Amino acid sequence: MNARMDVARADGVAADIAGLEPLETIRSRWPAIIGGLLSAAMIAGLARELLSSGLSGLSRTVPASPLFYLFFGLLYLSPITGDYVIFRRLWGIPFAGFVALIKKRIANEVVFGYSGEAYFYAWARSRATMVAAPFGAVKDVSILSAIAGNAMTLAMIAVAVPLVHALMTPETLRLVGGSAAVTIAISLPFLLFSRRVFSLPRPTLWWVFGVHWARLLAGQVLIALAWHYALPGASIGLWLALAALRMLVSRLPLVPNKDMLFANLAILLIGHDAALSELMAFSAALTVLIHLGLIGLFGVQAVVARNDA
């Protein structure tokens, strides 16, 4: 009798365990599920860009200098390289992490803001042997990226506004001042409560901030060089000033019609009205084309790797 009861109990425990297995499978596979959904969202976002004439800029005047494409390619890779340097030190990620970071950038640009961080977090969680708890590091790196961008914006305001204030209306100057105040207000809580917000050690946080700052500076130099070799009529110094204005205008939260403001300041500073508009359209279209080519390449690589396995 006791033997039968023991067998029945064992069968019940086995049934309970079997019932838990699907849930455990889902838990272990959720990073792959999230990654797959975001990959599909990237493809949908790129399709939306294409359907909304996102590549129409390629029909404009094409820069003839190969140096334009060299510096534009380096510009495209600069934020990805910065993130790779950071996570290489934090986690020792392999080169496959560089591919994941490329997808992170594409997701942020064609899906919605910070969807790339979700994709990269899912990628890291699916490699638990490499890093056990990636959320804190991904969070800290993302916050520091935003703070570095805000700090760079404030620096650009301090440098650029005295130089171009004569070209700006009083209303625009008030909006720039208000935007600077909002930028400070957004960053201040993270600095005041840094011990509660951040997970990484303080020296590591400063190092990550420095990498972000260097990456932003490199981006300004690279885009100025690319524009210079596309339209060599203006000096590199003027293109650097225009690159700074572009970053400044794009990050000001209270300024409406940012594209129009930037275009007006750029034409006043550089000239080349039609050529400059075509260059901006071509640059935007080329970015979409690079996104599309890389997503297609990664898709082919995944199919080949699956067949080899």
The least confident of 134-138, 217-221, 237-241 is 237-241
Q: Domain residues for 174?
A: 63-91+134-271
Average pLDDT over residues 286-294: 88
The 3 state secondary structure assigned to the chain is CHHHHHHHHHHHHHHHHHHHHHHHHHHHHHHHHHHHHHHHHHHHHHHHHHHCCCCHHHHCCCCCCHHHHHHHHHHHHHHHHHHHHHHHHHHCCCCHHHHHHHHHHHHHHHCCCCHHHHHHHHHHHCCCCCCCCCHHHHHHHHHHHHHHHHHHHHHHHHHHHHHHHHHCCHHHHHHHHHHHHHHHHHHHHHHHCHHHHCCCCHHHHHHHHHHHHHHHHHHHHHHHHHHHHHCCCCCHHHHHHHHHHHHHHHHCCCCCCHHHHHHHHHHHHHCCHHHHHHHHHHHHHHHHHHHHHHHHHHHHHHHHHHHHC
Residue with the bigger pLDDT between 10 and 306: it is 306
- pLDDT computed for residue 183 by the predictor: 81
Is residue 43 in some structural domain? no
Is residue 58 in some structural domain? no
**Among 83, 74, 73, which residue's Cα sits nearest to residue 103?**
83
- pLDDT computed for residue 268 by the predictor: 67
Is residue 143 in some structural domain? yes
Is residue 309 in some structural domain? no
Is residue 121 in some structural domain? no
The predicted-structure confidence for 208-227, as pLDDT tens digits, reads as follows 999 999 999 999 899 989 98
Q: What's the whole-model pTM score? A: 0.78
Is residue 289 in some structural domain? no
Domain count for the chain: 1
